[in-house]
Amino acid sequence: MSFVPHIPALRLGKAYESLEQTEVKDFHTGEVKATVSQVNAGILRKDLQRVIESRAATDKFSVAQLLEICAKAGEQFLNGTLPLGDKGLTQTPKQFVESLSATSGLPHVMVRRNMARIHAALANMRAILNGLTRGLDLSILDRGHGEQFGTTLNFFPTTHALGVVMPSNSPAVNSLWLPAVALKTPVIIKPGRDEPWTPYRLIQAFIAAGAPPEVFGFYPTDHEGAAAILNLCGRAALFGDKSTTTQYANNPAIEIHGPGYSKILIGDDEIENWRAHLDVIVESISSNGGRSCLNASAIVVPRYAAEIADALAQKLGPVQPTKLDDPGAKLSGFANPKMADAIDATIEEGLQTPGASDVAAKHRQGPRKVVFDGGTYLRPTIVLCDSFAHPLASREFLFPYASVVEVPQREILKQIGPSLVVTAITNDAVWTRELLAFPHIQRLNLGPIATMKISWDQPHEGNMFEFLWKRRAFEKG
């Protein structure tokens, strides 16, 4: 038996060992931690012709039964020893943490936090569906129609399967596709090249909990294969940066999960208290190693920008890389050092444009990009920008990075652009009304709430129920 696990493709639940395999390597040592079977777009196109059979498998379950399966799958994912690959190997939670950490650069403590987040999503699936459906009697989806809210309701599925093109940056993003299973929809996943671990373990957890294997497709593939998923699944979710997502931006069948550009705004009425809010801002910038689209990447204030930038830099600048198993670890390594090179170069290039300074530099006492224990890291960076027009003001990077920009309160909403999350620290009633009416914020926190905080019953990034089911007018004679 091989000690290097082989992770097969799962062709509608059936393991497929390809003759083409990639290696997932320890980002410190280069040791191969797993091989992953790769399939081409042709295999995807062929399998997607049969996906209606997978849909039939989920239709045998009621939503209530699928919710029970979700809860059990959450337990299995967090605590179970589950199959790893097709060679008889298994994986304990500890091994999952170690493998994912070693190949992604995410410290153990952050992997565990991501696991807890996924577990909570599965355990709270009933509340999530309640939020997504606004309290719909879910048995109506089993029957196809029913009476609620004093009217007749009929919903039909918009697709036979949900395609998901995953990133490699943060395991918890997998929680976004989980509601599809409870909503009777098979899931066709292209894992991130460097992160097969989480979706594969989740699928095994679902199967161990009683879900039919054919509900899950796991297709490590190339760009052409990803395009096949996006174009043929009927409904798909795409994670990626702007260059990846732009071509699909106007396709209503594809839900884009691109950069978050999440922000913290402070109003005129609270700006004198800015010191009291520093911890919330620091957490928003640096939690999860700054790798999430929920992390704040811009701090927008009407006054004291230089003082706030310096105070943030004092707290974040000295943060150093640590051993992966350090419980106090705050930075993630880069599985692909070239990405760190590119980010570092982009920031340095941006700093050449007048109007911005890296305030954290003096507190870092060393370069931004460092090699520690064989891994490449970027240390926190706070850039003070003189306006939103500066090229570094509206950027988001895969490490603790934020700009601090001084903008008069009356101008802030005109300048900030779209944001996944905005935390607005203000008690100003007029500005609060403007914020509540502002359409380019997907989740609004009023008050000193970290941007990373999410609620299970409130979708903040698209509504998976409305994506997968549609209501139509209906009458039964």
Partner 1 sequence: MRGVFCGGTTMAPQYVRFIVEEVLEGRIGFYPTYGNTLMGLAASVPLKPEDKFSITYYAPQPRAVLRVVNPQQTSQLVGYGEWGRVELTTMTKEFFMPRFLERDEAIRRPPREPYAWDGVAEVRPFGAMEKQIVEGVY
Point out which residues bind partner 1 (CB under 8 A): 18-20, 38, 40, 42-43, 46
Among residues 18 and 332, whose Cβ is nearest to partner 1? 18
Q: Do 416 and 298 meet the contact criterion of CB atoms below 8 Å apart? A: yes
In angstroms, what is the minimal distance from the CB of 20 to partner 1?
Answer: 4
Among residues 42 and 210, whose Cβ is nearest to partner 1? 42
d(CA 447, CA 428): 11
Strand 161-165 relative to strand 216-218, pairing = unpaired
In angstroms, what is the minimal distance from the CB of 40 to partner 1?
Answer: 6
Among residues 49 and 458, whose Cβ is nearest to partner 1? 49
Among residues 46 and 471, whose Cβ is nearest to partner 1? 46
d(CA 314, CA 287): 16
Among residues 43 and 285, whose Cβ is nearest to partner 1? 43
In angstroms, what is the minimal distance from the CB of 19 to partner 1?
Answer: 4
Among residues 225 and 258, whose Cβ is nearest to partner 1? 225
Complete DSSP assignment for 67-112: HHHHHHHHHHHHH--EE-SSSS-EE-HHHHHHHHHHHH---HHHHH
In angstroms, what is the minimal distance from the CB of 217 to partner 1?
Answer: 15
In angstroms, what is the minimal distance from the CB of 305 to partner 1?
Answer: 46
Give every strand in the sheet of 151-157, ordered side by side.
Answer: 145-148, 151-157, 469-471
In angstroms, what is the minimal distance from the CB of 296 to partner 1?
Answer: 39
d(CA 230, CA 162): 9
In angstroms, what is the minimal distance from the CB of 232 to partner 1?
Answer: 15
Residue 45 structure tokens: 């196109």
d(CA 199, CA 174): 7
Among residues 20 and 23, whose Cβ is nearest to partner 1? 20
Among residues 22 and 65, whose Cβ is nearest to partner 1? 22
Q: Do 1 and 88 meet the contact criterion of CB atoms below 8 Å apart? A: yes
Going through 312-461 in order, the beta strands assigned E by DSSP cover 333-334, 356-358, 369-372, 375-378, 381-385, 401-406, 419-425, 441-446
In angstroms, what is the minimal distance from the CB of 32 to partner 1?
Answer: 18
Neighbouring C-beta atoms of residue 357, cutoff 10 Å? 17
d(CA 439, CA 274): 26
* Segment (H or E) for 265: strand 262-266
